[in-house]
Amino acid sequence: MPFNFRVMLPVIVVFFLMSCGSEQSANHTNALSGKLIITGSSTIAPLASELAKKFEKSHPLVKVDVQTGGSSRGIADVKRKVSQIGMVSRTLKESESDLSGHVIAKDGISIIVHKDNPVNSLTSDQVKAIFQGKISHWNSIDGNNEKITVINKAEGRSTLEVFLKFFQLKNREIKPDIIIGDNEQGIKLVSHNKNAIAYVSIGTAEYSKHLGINIKTIALDGVEATTANLINGTFPLSRELNFITQGKRSKLASAFLDYSLSPAAFSTIKEFGFVPIDTR
Amino acid sequence: MSPLTRDRYLHYVLKFFACVSILSLFFIIFFLVTESWAIIESTPASKYILDDAWHPTDGEFFLLPMIVGSLFVMIGAMLLSIPVGIFTAVLWQFYAPAWFSSILERIVEVLSGIPSVVYGFWGIMIIVPLLAKFQAPGTSLLAGIIVLTLIVLPTITLVANSVFQQVNKLHIQNAIALGLSRFTIIRHIIFPQAKRGLLTGVILQAGRAIGETLAVLMVCGNVVQIPGSVFEPVRTLTSNIALEMAYAMDIHRSALFLSGLVLMLVVFMLILMTERMKFTSDNSL
């Protein structure tokens, strides 16, 4: 086939543009380079991976490797210097004061019901009994004479873990009518079922209420489920998400920590249903 | 290029594409087996069907309810959609006036183009609250069957219609000339000729039904249990993967890949079964 310039022209143009692009990003490099290893909690891992992706984009010579294995692995790895940053999804214990923790976000859970449900507040014992099937009708807690639809989360979800731990339940003790995956699905179901009760991350619940969706957050032991109460620590059903380090930090680890704590990371944190901590 | 060499090149190209699709099947199976190896190795197969619960993080992997769930939802949807779809196509081809057929055609085409998520969303807002009036909570096997029926019905109707169109026109004209009734023509001339095509269309849709994920996940309730009635929630193999994959680790993750492998086996059996059915139906002709 003879070389057909008219056919090849777009191809040439595309290649030319591509080469321009790579030159530009090559100019963009700065001092940071190397590999950063982050290990620990599987709750934080998806968020850390996303933050890492964005961090890598602005620092092309940096490779961030996020591995999971639980909060205890995060601590052990940092102590053994296997990783530079550990992910721990709980408050650090006093015995762990040799580590420095940085709260990057809080993870809170609010109990939600339909907007027309007359119940506004529940005690921890009541919530526990509802999910165990010991309270089966709303009228035993001043609600309508209807059967309660219990909505539980699928195995492996971090909200499920926090929920079980707080109420000291085992997943097999819960008698669910519906099992859901993400928070959005819970909100959709509750907004169309007047007798349903579910738990979702506080960030998502507040956002949905703000959009005017027919759900209501339930005060737990008298404390309203709001991000404000989550940040000031009065709302009980919550936990801290920490990045931990030990001793002197590498330049790379410091830069990643600074990025994770900066307002630039807030939208990413919110995307995962967590509540960022505004330190300034 | 001579026509002969052109033919040879075409032959190579076709062979290449055929190999790609065959190889991709083997790659998928290989991938599923390697990913699920951790659990196949550590857990005896009897646990998947004899365990008492699905708590993958505690080492309990009761897969049977999900296999049953997938089959029930699929079979229910096919039982509803096959007769409705085929009879609609019969009406469309042989009984309805032209103006009605053309309206029907537009409607069915639009319906078949709606993404399944939309059906799922509609299921949550309409079907689930409706069923909840009979028996709470509404998210149930029946809701899944209804939504899935609506998803596969338009395509089954379209396929049946096109199969009927391909029936030899000469046979029909002869039958009319002999003064046979319309019912007799459909029963004894159209259907025997259309059987094979209908079966293929039905199987393709059955495969789609068992593989449907999001819409089923939205309306089925997803509790891992063998349902006692159509009003009880079920979880399908596909929902199981979609629900838990995002946060699954190690053996849990491996168990989810095993769900995928099992699903593939179920589909494979389904295809084998139809091949058999086609074979026997050919022999009976």
pLDDT in tens, B264-279: 999 998 888 888 887 7
**CA-nearest residue of chain A to B224?**
A179
pLDDT in tens, B147-191: 999 999 999 999 999 999 998 889 999 999 999 999 999 999 999
Residue A19 within a domain: no
In a domain, A81, yes or no: yes
Specify the pLDDT at position B45: 81
CB pairs under 8 A between A and B: 80
Asked if B136 has any chain A CB less than 8 Å from its own CB, the reply is: yes
Q: What is the pLDDT of residues B118-144, one digit of tens each?
A: 999 999 999 999 998 888 788 999 999
Dihedral sign, Cα of residue A142, residue A143, residue A146, residue A150: negative
Which B positions 25-54 lie with beta carbon below 8 A of chain A? 53-54
pLDDT 10s digits, B50-63:
888 888 878 888 99
Nearest to A155 among B56, B132, B138 (CB): B56
* Rounded Cα distance, A140 and A1, in Å: 84
Q: How much is the average pLDDT of B205-230? A: 92
Nearest to B244 among A147, A154, A178 (CB): A154
A183: nearest CA in chain B?
B243
Counting the structural domains of chain A, the total is 2
Question: Is the Cβ of A59 closer than 8 Å to some Cβ of chain B?
Answer: no
Report yes or no on A250 lying in a domain.
yes
The domain spans of chain B are 3-42, 54-284
H, E, C per residue of chain A = CCCCHHHHHHHHHHHHHHHHHHHHHHHCCCCCCEEEEEEECCCCHHHHHHHHHHHHHHCCCEEEEEEECCHHHHHHHHHCCCCCEEEECCCCCHHHCCEEEEEEEEEEEEEEEECCCCCCEECHHHHHHHHHCCCCEHHHHCCCCCECEEEEECCCCHHHHHHHHHCCCCHHHCCCCEEECCHHHHHHHHHCCCCEEEEEEHHHHHHHHHCCCCEEEEEECCECCCHHHHHCCCCCCEEEEEEEEECCCCHHHHHHHHHHHCHHHHHHHHHCCCEECCCC
Distance between alpha carbon B262 and the CA centroid of its chain, in Å? 15
The residue type found at A216 is: K
Which residue among A42, A193, A195 sits closest to B247, beta carbon to beta carbon?
A42
Q: Return the pLDDT at A23.
A: 41
Structural domain harbouring A93:
31-106+239-276
Q: What are the beta bridge partners of residue A197?
A: A113, A150
* Beta bridge partner(s), residue A218: A111
List of chain B residues whose C-beta atoms are within 8 Å of the C-beta of residue A145: none
CB contact (8 A) between residue B242 and residue A181: yes
Which of B129, B233, B242 faces A178 most closely, judged by CB atoms? B233
Taking a contact as any Cβ pair under 8 Å apart, which residues of chain A between 196 and 235 contact chain B?
196
Tell me which fold the domain B54-284 belongs to.
MetI-like fold (1.10.3720)
pTM exceeds 0.80 for this model = no
Backbone angles phi and psi of B105, in degrees to 5: -60, -50
Question: Would the CB atoms of A193 and B247 count as touching at under 8 Å?
Answer: no
A67, closest residue in chain B (CA to CA) = B249
Residue type, B181: S
User: Cβ–Cβ of A177/B137 closer than 8 Å?
Assistant: yes
Q: How far is CA A270 from the centre of its chain?
A: 8
| CATH number, domain containing residue A212 | 3.40.190.10
pLDDT confidence of residue A22: 44
Instruction: Please tell me which residue of chain B has the smallest CA distance to A175.
Output: B223
Gap from A198 CA to chain B (nearest CA, Å): 13
Task: Tell whether A112 and A226 lie within a shared domain.
Answer: yes
Predicted pLDDT at A169: 92
ipTM associated with this complex = 0.81
| Residue B124 near chain A (CB below 8 Å) | yes
**Is there a domain that residue A82 lies in?**
yes
A179 in B contact zone (CB under 8 Å): yes
Place of tokens 């857990």: B43
Instruction: Examine residue A46 and state whether it is found in any structural domain, yes or no.
Output: yes
- Closest chain A C-alpha to B19 CA, distance in angstroms: 28
Question: Three-class SS string for B81-101?
Answer: HHHHHHHHHHHHHHHCCHHHH
- pLDDT for position B27: 94
**Distance between A99 CA and the closest CA of chain B, angstroms:** 26
* B37-65 per-residue burial string, b: 16 or more CB within 10 A, e: under 16: ebbbeebeeebbeebeebbbbeeebbbbb
Whether residue A132 sits in one domain with residue A206 = yes
For residue A164, the distance in angstroms to the closest alpha carbon of chain B comes to: 13
User: Quick check: B221 contacting A, CB < 8 Å?
Assistant: yes
Please name the member of A181, A188, A193 whose beta carbon is closest to the beta carbon of B243: A181
Tell me, rounded to whole angstroms, the distance of Cα B251 from its chain centroid.
29
Q: Measured between beta carbons, which residues in chain B are less than 8 angstroms from residue A177?
A: 136-137, 139, 221, 223, 233
A113 plus A155 within the same structural domain: yes
> pLDDT tens-digit profile of B155-165?
999 999 999 99
pLDDT at A1: 45
Helical spans, DSSP H, in chain B: 3-42, 46-50, 64-90, 98-113, 116-122, 128-134, 141-165, 169-177, 182-185, 191-211, 214-219, 237-244, 250-284
Local mean pLDDT, 10-residue blocks, chain A (280 residues):
54 53 44 88 86 92 87 86 90 84 90 93 94 92 88 85 90 91 87 92 86 92 89 86 91 92 89 76
Q: Do A65 and A36 form a contact (C-beta atoms < 8 A)?
A: yes
User: What is the residue-averaged pLDDT of chain B?
Assistant: 90
A191 touches chain B (CB under 8 A): no
Q: Do A44 and A144 reside in the same domain of the chain?
A: no
pLDDT, position A11: 55
Q: Are A51 and A95 in a shared domain? A: yes
Query: Is the Cβ pair B217, A181 closer than 8 Å?
Result: yes
